[in-house]
Amino acid sequence: MLRITGGTVYDPANGVDGVVKDIVLDGGKVVADGVGGRTIDATGMIVMPGGVDVHTHVAGAALNFARAMIPEEHRRALPFLRSKTLRAGVGGTTPTTYATGYLYAGMGWTTVNEAAVPVISAKHTHEELHDTPIVDKATCVLMGNNEVVLDLLEQGEFERAKQVVAWYLWAAKGYGIKCVNPGGVAAWKWGKDAKQLSDVVEGYKKITAGKIVSSMARIVDELKIPHPMHLHCNNLGAPGNVSTTIETMKSLESHRAHMAHLQYHAYGGNDWESIRSEAPAIAEYFNAHKNLTTDAGAVLFGNTITLSADGPWQYLLYQLTGKKWGNIDVENETGCGVVPYVYREKNIVNAVQWATGLELLLLIDDPWRVSLTTDHPNGASFWRYPEILQLLMDATFRKEEFAKLPEKAKARTCLAELTREYTLREIAIITSAGPARTLGLPQKGHLGIGADADVAIYHLNKDIAKMFSHPRYVIKGGEIVVEDGDIRMTVEGRGFITKPSYDPAIEEYLKPLFQQQYSMSFENYPVEMHRIPHPEITEV
Amino acid sequence: MPQTVTKFATCAGCACVCDDLELHANDARIFEAKNACEMGRCWFLERPISKVEATINGKPASLSDAIDRAAMILYEADSPLVFGLGETTAEAQREAVALAERLDATLDTETSLTHGTMELAAQLGGKVTGTLGEIRNRADLIIYWGANPARTHPRHLERYSVHSTGKFRTRADRTMVVVDVRESETAKEADIFLRIRPETDFEALTALRCLVRGQRIVCERLNETGLSLDQLRDLAERLKRARYGVIFVGQGLLQTRGLHMNASAATSLGIALNATGRFLVMPLRTPGNIGGADAMLDYATGYPFGVNFSRGYPRYNPGEFTAADLLARQEVDAALIVGVNAVKRLPDSARTQLDRIPTIVIDREIRNATVSIATAPAGISASGTVYRNDKIPLGFRPPLTSTRPTDEDVLRRIREAVERKPETYPTASARMTILE
């Protein structure tokens, strides 16, 4: 048992907003009361539910492909020295698996969602997650360019497509369904893209990107997957893509969708010269449509590596930057592109991107529907989240940072006019309560009785970035894992899995297709259950 | 004896890792491997298993004594090396990383002696790759360069490339080109065979890239390659016309004069060809699970091979922390070898040093070493995960059981034995200062 006394608690899911109260933890859960055990005196500290990352890339073939390409980044990254408690590793733009767990926990985050898993290499993703300590893990399975599904939609076989999606999700031991540039990655295998929703996907006669989006949203809803369709829209990163994004949101009608890294989809202008933020237009539509959630995909200046299943976009980025380019085509399912990138304050495009992410966070009026992310490692590494929290909570600091932007860029954003400052309650929402609700994890993101005993405790500090970078305590599953900035012990995280119901006959349909289209046996394809330590299965 | 049939078994006889084998076995051995190629049959069927479980200084010893001795040797060493890992499971590789880290050792795999040059090329300029099903479904131009898969990856053509029937392509839709220094078995199946002079791959690949990009080339230099301008022009045109092409590069490119610059030339050509169609460049890796070792090292340390833990965190420097170089410079005072095939790839200068220092060998057979431990062979009687040539992981389906420990067990027990000894931990002062 563990009692946290005297802390100022921010637990927005339970309507607790800066109230001094005790939190009691026992058996890995929040409980009403108890006796014995250790007491933490949190007087003068703030107590929040552990952070939840709704969209990050921390494990899998694509990320690992990126890691292998950038020894120069690892060399100047924060080294993790092995100790009695810690495994060795490196931090930096793409931390190694053990370091990933330490870095997340080290700033108070206790749950992460790996947002892009190809099913055929899902065993690898789970292998990395196995070696990512402390945090609990969910995964989203890539389905928006799955050719077995696309072929069925082309033939108008919606019901069968739904069964196939359900089968794949369980085969991957995944949690949610992700669509990346629907149709665009399949088209990339023919050297093309699908930028507009009306584009017929290369290699097909009828099916359009828009049809894939609406069908997949319907499939996810009809399968009752706890997390909405996780959508990386078409036309990412391009000037003027605001129209595609709004059109996509419209096409969803009343279906649920999580609009991933919205910052990258909120640009106006006709080209790189004229790019501007269209965050107000996006936010206006988004605010009025409660079926949608999103995450910021905010950008911070500095070195990083971009990686995405969006192969055609990454190829364009390679052409723009002339840096090294990595590409993996994944049979029947998806792709991946990798390009190192530097966001520069003095670059107009980058300055607009920086402002757009913040604008979205400030203009979306319901904090429950927008989560804090950087689309790690794309916009910046996740361990830089505290810098964004400071920008959100301190308008004066934001103004100072804004002043450093090039004049041209300043005119392309309304950030200077936004005076909103996030409260601690709102911070607890966008970092924990909101993403937990978006993911459909009722045991996460709050401190009510029965919630998972994941707690972050911070020393109140005027320096907001410092405060959130160095929690006084972090508790995971009732164990104190961080004390005074040091990892004191590590625990193994759990794996969240969704088991949708599907007609077993679908396997007989898939077997001959596997024989024809896949290079591995159907029987060896699904991820075996033993690969996920501490699984937590939601049957729907 | 009762007989068992194991369907969809996974074979690690080469890096193809075919998973459609049907194994017939009794309690003692596998006697039939349907669908297997010659290499696969050897891998499954010809497996003498030594009666002794472990030796110390060549004398039979108990497993626990061998583990204690191994732990003592590694614990007492100032600069131990953990090497090999190509023939074992991902689970054992995970344990090997943990042990190397614990020992503040250098960790290197046979990648540094094989396709590691491809990894270096990726660090220089990137890489364009894919899973083998994409080749099967889409490739209309397939080039084998410095590779002889008919010998080294016997089912590669049939299952994954030229002869396979994919979603959009059959043999008739594909052009097969072989570039090699001799007319190999593979070359005999090619539509076009280009005989190149030894050690001129870099020049030929660079000339092709120039032709593809419409740049000027110096014809006299071209003569060194043994290929005519017409031959190269013809190939360049085919490269540009390909809708989905691939160059499979073998050890004949990756480990000959030029090394990583050869790999880089192939990669650069492949990258350039994505301006006209889609194009991939993929290495043909050496047998076993070396792709798994790369993946494991990448995610646990950030680096694919040549990793040194002496300062308590992973550092990487090919040439400095690679086994062949460390051994040749006599900078290693004990070595743990997992799978002996890696040793066969070492140059003499390195192998000589291995004879001078205490060695621990974990292999399916008893070997000549200070401590030798015989383990259950992966895929035969040990389960686990193996990564295919394209880094797609698969589970083994071992038809036999064994009283022998697995590589994973032995590595874990050695680490546990080391951990029982007094320990000091690296301090922050161990960090290298990086001068920007």
* pLDDT score, position B434: 57
Six-digit token pair at A128?
């990395």
Rounded to the nearest angstrom, the minimum Cα separation between A36 and chain B is 33
How many CB pairs below 8 A link A and B?
A: 207
Please give the Cα distance from B262 to B200 (Å, whole number): 9
Could you give the angle at which helices A61-69 and B116-125 cross, rounded to 10 degrees? 80
Please give the Cα distance from B414 to B410 (Å, whole number): 6
Q: Is residue A521 part of a domain?
A: no
Per the DSSP assignment, residues forming a β-bridge with B32 are B24
Q: Which amino acid is at B401?
A: T
Whether the per-residue pLDDT at B42 is higher than 60: the answer is yes
pTM exceeds 0.95 for this model: yes
Name the H helices within B365-406. none
Could you give the angle at which helices A158-172 and A209-222 cross, rounded to 10 degrees? 70
Whether the per-residue pLDDT at B397 is higher than 80: the answer is yes
Please give the Cα distance from B376 to A224 (Å, whole number): 45
Domain range for A317 is: 46-495
Q: Do B127 and A67 touch (CB under 8 A)?
A: no
Name the H helices within A76-114. 97-106
Q: Which residues in chain B have their CB less than 8 angstroms from residue A88's CB? A: 101, 301, 309, 312-314
Q: Which residues in chain A have their CB less than 8 angstroms from residue B431's CB? A: 79, 81
Rounded to the nearest angstrom, the minimum Cα separation between A63 and chain B is 9
Q: Is residue A516 part of a domain?
A: no
Rounded to the nearest angstrom, the minimum Cα separation between A500 and chain B is 24
Whether the per-residue pLDDT at B90 is higher than 80: the answer is yes
Whether the per-residue pLDDT at B47 is higher than 90: the answer is no
Rounded to the nearest angstrom, the minimum Cα separation between B153 and chain A is 15
Q: Do B274 and A517 touch (CB under 8 A)?
A: no
Q: Do B313 and A61 touch (CB under 8 A)?
A: no
Query: Taking the CA of residue B53 as centre, how many other CA atoms within 13 Å lie in the half-sphere pointing to its CB?
Result: 15
Asked if residue B79 lies in contact with residue B353, where contact means CB atoms within 8 angstroms, the answer is no
Write the pLDDT tens digit of every residue in B134-158. 999 999 999 999 999 999 999 999 9
Query: Taking the CA of residue A3 as centre, how many other CA atoms within 13 Å lie in the half-sphere pointing to its CB?
Result: 13
Angle subtended at Cα A70 by Cα B258 and Cα B325, rounded to the nearest 5 degrees: 45
Counted domains in chain A: 1
**Residues whose CB falls within 8 Å of the CB of residue B380, separated by 6 or more in sequence, listed in order:** B30, B44, B47, B398, B399, B400
**Average pLDDT score over residue span B11-30:** 95
Mutation target to probe the A interface, by most A beta carbons within 10 A, among B117, B135, B313, B389 is B313
B1: three-class secondary structure by DSSP: coil
Report which secondary-structure segment, H or E, holds B102.
helix B90-102
Q: Which residues in chain B have their CB less than 8 angstroms from residue A523's CB? A: 7-8
Q: Is residue A537 part of a domain?
A: no
Q: Is residue A289 part of a domain?
A: yes
Q: Is residue A538 part of a domain?
A: no
Sign of CA dihedral A207, A210, A212, A218: negative
Rounded to the nearest angstrom, the minimum Cα separation between B397 and chain A is 9
Q: Do A81 and B425 touch (CB under 8 A)?
A: yes
Write the pLDDT tens digit of every residue in B298-322. 999 999 999 999 999 999 999 999 9
* Closest chain A CA to residue B20: A521
Asked if residue B281 lies in contact with residue B266, where contact means CB atoms within 8 angstroms, the answer is yes
B231: three-class secondary structure by DSSP: helix
Whether the CB of B313 is below 8 Å from some CB of chain A: the reply is yes
Which of A88, A517, A528 is the closest to B101 by Cβ? A88
Domains along chain B with CATH numbers: 4-44 (no CATH), 50-112+288-430 (3.40.50.740), 116-283 (3.40.228.10)
* Closest chain B CA to residue A63: B299
Whether the CB of B10 is below 8 Å from some CB of chain A: the reply is yes
Q: Is residue A334 part of a domain?
A: yes
* pLDDT score, position B423: 86
CA distances from A53 to A58, A110, A263, A314 (A): 11, 8, 16, 24
Q: Do B20 and A521 touch (CB under 8 A)?
A: yes
Q: Which residues in chain A have their CB less than 8 angstroms from residue B133's CB? A: 120, 331-332, 517-520
Please give the Cα distance from B336 to B343 (Å, whole number): 11
Phi, psi of A125 (to 5 degrees): -55, -45
Six-digit token pair at A396?
């004066």
Please give the Cα distance from B79 to B13 (Å, whole number): 33
Please give the Cα distance from A370 to A55 (Å, whole number): 11
Residue with tokens 């030796």: B55
Please give the Cα distance from A188 to A193 (Å, whole number): 5
Nearest CA to B103 out of B321, B336, B303, B322 is that of B336
* pLDDT score, position B48: 63
Whether the per-residue pLDDT at B435 is higher than 60: the answer is no
Whether the per-residue pLDDT at B430 is higher than 90: the answer is no
Which of B124, B304, B387 is the closest to A68 by Cβ? B304
Q: Do B274 and A315 touch (CB under 8 A)?
A: yes
Asked if residue A438 lies in contact with residue A293, where contact means CB atoms within 8 angstroms, the answer is yes
Whether the CB of B129 is below 8 Å from some CB of chain A: the reply is yes
What's the CATH number where A212 sits? 3.20.20
% chain B with pLDDT above 70 = 98
Q: Do B300 and A131 touch (CB under 8 A)?
A: yes
**Average pLDDT score over residue span B383-407:** 96
Nearest CA to A477 out of A145, A134, A67 is that of A134
* pLDDT score, position B436: 46
Give the model's confidence band at B46: pLDDT under 50 very low, under 70 low, under 90 confident, else very high.
confident
Give the model's confidence band at B433: pLDDT under 50 very low, under 70 low, under 90 confident, else very high.
low
Mutation target to probe the B interface, by most B beta carbons within 10 A, among A316, A327, A341 is A327
Other Cβ atoms less than 10 A from the Cβ of A486: the count is 12
**Residues whose CB falls within 8 Å of the CB of residue B99, separated by 6 or more in sequence, listed in order:** B74, B82, B105, B336, B411, B414, B415, B418
* Closest chain B CA to residue A319: B275
**Residues whose CB falls within 8 Å of the CB of residue B56, separated by 6 or more in sequence, listed in order:** B65, B66, B69, B370, B371
Whether the per-residue pLDDT at B290 is higher than 50: the answer is yes
B142: three-class secondary structure by DSSP: strand
Nearest CA to A333 out of A351, A355, A311, A316 is that of A311
Which of A97, A326, A518 is the closest to B299 by Cβ? A97
Residue with tokens 């068992």: B4
Whether the CB of B139 is below 8 Å from some CB of chain A: the reply is no
* pLDDT score, position B217: 87
Is the bond preceding residue A435 a cis peptide, omega within 30 degrees?
no
Write the pLDDT tens digit of every residue in B176-210. 999 999 999 999 999 999 999 999 999 999 999 99
Please give the Cα distance from A343 to B86 (Å, whole number): 39
DSSP A430: I
Nearest CA to B103 out of B67, B75, B83, B73 is that of B75
CA distances from B309 to A73, A79, A487, B38, B425 (A): 18, 11, 21, 40, 12
Whether the per-residue pLDDT at B114 is higher than 50: the answer is yes
Please give the Cα distance from A535 to A494 (Å, whole number): 6
Mean pLDDT of chain B: 95
Whether the CB of B163 is below 8 Å from some CB of chain A: the reply is no
Which residues of chain A carry a pLDDT beneath 50? none
Q: Which residues in chain A have their CB less than 8 angstroms from residue B312's CB? A: 79, 81-82, 88
Q: Is residue A248 part of a domain?
A: yes
**Average pLDDT score over residue span B359-375:** 96
Q: Which residues in chain B have their CB less than 8 angstroms from residue A90's CB? A: 301-302, 313-314
Whether the per-residue pLDDT at B54 is higher than 70: the answer is yes
Write the pLDDT tens digit of every residue in A358-397. 999 999 999 999 999 999 999 999 999 999 999 999 999 9
Nearest CA to A338 out of A328, A352, A351 is that of A328
CA distances from A265 to A209, A245, A360, A378, B2 (A): 16, 6, 11, 14, 63
Please give the Cα distance from B66 to B417 (Å, whole number): 11
Q: Is residue A113 part of a domain?
A: yes
Rounded to the nearest angstrom, the minimum Cα separation between A33 and chain B is 40
Exposure string (b/e) for A385-416, b if CB count within 10 Å is 16 or more? Answer: bbbbbbbbbbbebbeebbeebbeebbebbebe
Six-digit token pair at A9?
């608690």
Q: Do A330 and B294 touch (CB under 8 A)?
A: no
